Amino acid sequence: MQTSPENLKNLVREKYSNIAQAEPAKKSCCGCDCGSTNIIMNEQYEGIAGYNREADLQLGCGIPTQFAAIEPGNIVVDLGSGAGNDCFVARALTGESGEVIGIDFTPEMIALARQNVEKLGYTNVRFVAGDIDNIPLPRHSADVVISNCVINLVPDKAKVFSEIFRILVPGGHFCVSDVVRERDLPEAIRQAAELYAGCVSGASQISDYLKIVDQQGFKEITIRKKTPIEIPEDILQSYHEDTISSKDGVSDCGLFSITLTGYKPMEQNCASGCDCGC
C-alpha cells in the first residue's frame, strides 16, 4: 500500500529527530545503529573554510557550496540545514557583510543548529523552522539557495523548486546536491520507509528531476558533479532482489549523487498580478 505524502513527511521528521538526539557514534543517514557508515556521503569537508565538526552529521551527498558561487555580501538560504554544517561553510564565503538562513522542519535539528551557532558566536547565521516546500521567507529574499541531500526526501519536488524560484532574486541561483536514479528501483526498495528516510527510496529518475527544475523556469541548468552511490549489503539485505547486482559486498542500484545548479532569469515575462513568485 502506498504511503501518503503526509505520512512520509512525518516519517522523515521522526527519523531526523532521532538522528539529532542520537549519540554522535550512532548518527547515520539511515537513522539506525546498523553497523554501516553513512551510505551516501563520500565527500570530505576537512580543510574547508567554515567547517565545524560538531555541526557535521554526515547526512549529505555532496558539498553544494563548492559550486554555489557564493560571493561576499550574499544572502544564502540552506534548505534542510540540519545541524548547520553547510550554513557555516556558506558563511565563510559570504563573510560578515552577508547572511545565511537555514530552514529545517525538524525541531530537534533547529535546536541543535542554534546551539552550534551560539557556540560559534556568529551573528549573521540564523535558523528558521519550516517546510522547504513552503519556505517561510518572502519572495526575492535570497541571492543563493543551497541544499544537501534533502529535496529527494520531499514528495512534491516541483513545489520545492517553485519555492526556490520564488525566494530567489532575479538573476539569483541555486546549487543543490541530491540523490537521483538512472533506472527504476526494485519494488521492495521503493516501498521501504527506512530507506526512504535514508535518501534512497525517494530518489527521482534523473530525467524527471531535471524536467521538474526546467518547468519551474530555471535556466542554465547544469550538473556540476555526478558520483555513483554503492550501498553496503548490510543496509540492503532485508530488501535484496535479483534486479540488484552485487559485487564485493556492495550493491549497484543505478543511484547517483549529483550537484546541480540553475539560474533564475533576470527578466520575467509574467502577467501583472501572477502568483508564480517572479
Lowest mean pLDDT among 124-128, 129-133, 179-183, 197-201: 197-201
Q: CATH number, domain at 150?
A: 3.40.50.150
Mean pLDDT of 228-251: 58
Q: Tell which wins on pLDDT, 42 or 226.
A: 226
Q: Write b or e for each residue in 8-22: b if 16 or more Cβ atoms lie within 10 A of its Cβ, otherwise e.
A: bbebbbebbebbbee
Across the chain, mean pLDDT equals 81
44 belongs to a structural domain: no
Residue 90 to residue 94: CA distance in whole angstroms: 6
Lowest mean pLDDT among 90-99, 197-206, 258-267: 197-206
The answer to whether residue 93 scores a pLDDT higher than 90 is yes
Residue 79 to residue 68: CA distance in whole angstroms: 14
The whole-number pLDDT of residue 238 equals 60
Number of domains in the chain: 1
The whole-number pLDDT of residue 37 equals 39
Mean pLDDT of 122-137: 97
The answer to whether residue 21 scores a pLDDT higher than 90 is no
Q: Write b or e for each residue in 92-131: b if 16 or more Cβ atoms lie within 10 A of its Cβ, otherwise e.
A: ebbeeebbbbbbbbbebbbbbbbebbeebebeebebeeeb
Q: Tell which wins on pLDDT, 32 or 92.
A: 92
Asked if 234 and 183 touch (Cβ cutoff 8 Å), the reply is: no
278 belongs to a structural domain: no
Residue 200 to residue 256: CA distance in whole angstroms: 10
228 belongs to a structural domain: no
252 belongs to a structural domain: no
The domain containing residue 160 runs over which residues? Answer: 5-39+49-223+257-263
The answer to whether residue 49 scores a pLDDT higher than 50 is yes
Q: Categorize the per-residue pLDDT at 231 as very low, low, confident or very high, splitting at 50, 70 and 90.
A: low
58 belongs to a structural domain: yes
198 belongs to a structural domain: yes
The whole-number pLDDT of residue 229 equals 78
276 belongs to a structural domain: no
87 belongs to a structural domain: yes
The answer to whether residue 237 scores a pLDDT higher than 70 is no
CB atoms within 10 A of CB 54: 15
